[in-house]
């Protein structure tokens, strides 16, 4: 559907509001009326842009993933060895740990919640994770080529292991709230990058 600039702005506002509310309360914890009231949009407008709450959830996730991948791509495009750029990303994840922004990841917030009842939302999250791991893998391969990362494991497998390690640290930090899971995760990252 082609939207006018004003309609695109309204749709963007609904999505941004939904993202904030979903980060705070999850998907099932947010009602349609709360979304509409918070962004000041009538119910009819919502259904002009989205066929259902699930369709809205998918759109929120796709927008979130696109924005997140752009930010990660920019971070990984900085100068440096492959190892330096992977650690730069790991340090960025760790910098959010123990703070109010630590839980501000829709993958962390929604993966367990939506995977059991919305195949479309599960796929949107899975596709986003796959794209993120692919970015990691490209930089790991560059690090293996420049000698800063051990060349024994496949770049894809190492990228998957790093993502799983950091995602686990993000989940555990929601309990610890002190950054300690990332201290351990970054130490393990260095061991993985050194291991042939």
Alpha helices in 77-118 (DSSP H): 82-96, 106-114
Residues 85-140 pLDDT 10s: 999 999 998 887 765 554 578 888 888 899 888 999 999 999 999 999 999 999 99
- Backbone torsions φ then ψ of 132, nearest 5 degrees: -65, -45
Collapsing DSSP states into helix, strand and coil, what is residue 46? helix
pTM score: 0.89
CA–CA distance, 17 with 15 (Å, rounded to integer): 5
Express each pLDDT in 20-37 by its tens digit: 999 999 999 999 899 989
Long-range contact pairs involving 14-22 (C-beta distance under 8 Å, separation at least 24): 14/39, 14/41, 14/45, 14/46, 14/49, 14/50, 14/56, 15/56, 15/59, 15/60, 15/63, 18/56, 18/57, 18/60, 19/60, 19/63, 19/64, 19/106, 22/57, 22/60, 22/106, 22/109, 22/110
Q: Note the maximum CA span of the chain.
A: 58
Residue 1 has pLDDT above 70, yes or no: no
């Amino acid at each position: 559907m082609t939207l006018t600039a004003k309609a695109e702005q309204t749709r963007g506002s609904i999505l941004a509001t939904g993202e904030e509310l979903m980060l705070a309360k999850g998907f099932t914890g947010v009602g349609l009326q709360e979304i509409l009231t918070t962004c000041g949009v009538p119910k009819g407008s919502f259904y002009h842009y989205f066929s259902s709450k699930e369709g809205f959830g998918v759109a929120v996730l796709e927008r979130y993933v696109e924005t997140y991948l752009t930010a990660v791509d920019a971070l990984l495009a900085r100068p440096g060895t492959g190892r330096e750029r992977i650690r730069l990303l790991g340090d960025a994840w760790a910098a959010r740990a123990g703070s109010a922004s630590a839980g501000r990841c829709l993958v962390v917030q929604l993966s367990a919640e939506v995977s059991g009842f919305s195949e479309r939302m599960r796929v949107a999250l899975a596709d986003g994770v796959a794209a993120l791991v692919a970015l990691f893998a490209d930089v790991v391969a560059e690090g293996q080529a420049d000698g800063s990362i051990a060349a024994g494991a496949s770049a894809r497998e190492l990228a998957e292991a790093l993502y799983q390690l950091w995602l686990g640290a993000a989940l555990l930090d929601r309990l610890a709230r002190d950054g300690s899971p990332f201290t351990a995760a970054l130490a393990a990252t260095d061991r993985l990058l050194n291991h042939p």
